[in-house]
Chain A
Amino acid sequence: DQQVKQNSPSLSVQEGRISILNCDYTNSMFDYFLWYKKYPAEGPTFLISISSIKDKNEDGRFTVFLNKSAKHLSLHIVPSQPGDSAVYFCAASEGNGNQFYFGTGTSLTVIP
């Protein structure tokens, strides 16, 4: 039962443009969300997080938006750079829970 879904397995974007990666979840108890970036043969690297008390969190070129009513979050990368090419995973947990549920990932390719 996939509680966190990333329906786009891949995304290609021109350098300098905006990349938008989407994530949907089914569990209304989730209140903490993270995005990770993963390069081949490496572990996931934490990018940005958001708790359910916010609807937006920004860190440099990365912004995460949370729409609780739609159970949807998105990661915006602007401007996109070739070094951003990687697989991006969203993850969710219940506030005081221990387990993070991961999506299946979206492979982003930024074309120079």
Chain B
Amino acid sequence: NAGVMQNPRHLVRRRGQEARLRCSPVKGHSHVYWYRQLPEEGLKFMVYLQKENIIDESGMPKERFSAEFPKEGPSILRIQQVVRGDSAAYFCASSQSTDTQYFGPGTRLTVL
């Protein structure tokens, strides 16, 4: 069952360190989306990528956050110089086109 895979499932970082979150989409899906869920909140869109291109990054903070989806390999969400407020669950989703998105299990980031 080659669903959306995310790793690591749990990530602990100290303030100021970098966090790298990985997402492997469903085989054949070329659209990848990253969402963040803060405690007691719903999912918030961050960024939408197709292979090698960022299509929409309107939900991503302008500083410290970046995302990529290279031609080969998983999509990466990178958070530099993490702060406590970055602690959240980060979900990746993929789709074949701009319709139903299928989600991975998420990465829970804890910043100490």
Residues of A within 8 A of B (CB): 4, 6, 32, 34, 36, 41-46, 49, 89, 91, 93, 96-105
Contacts and interface: CB of A to CB of B under 8 A. Distances in A.
Interface of B: 4, 6, 31, 33, 35, 40-45, 48, 55-56, 58-59, 91, 93, 98-106, 108
Contacts of A89: 42-43
A98 B56 contact: yes
B8 to A, nearest CB: 13
B45 A43 contact: no
Central interface residue in A4, A45, A49, A102, by most chain B CB within 10 Å: A102
Given A43-B91, A102-B43, A49 B100 contact: yes
Query: Which residue, B42, B100, B108, has most C-beta atoms of chain A within 10 A?
Result: B42
Nearest 7 pairs between A and B by C-beta?
A: A43-B103, A104-B42, A102-B43, A98-B48, A102-B42, A44-B103, A43-B105
B91 A99 contact: no
A90 to B, nearest CB: 9
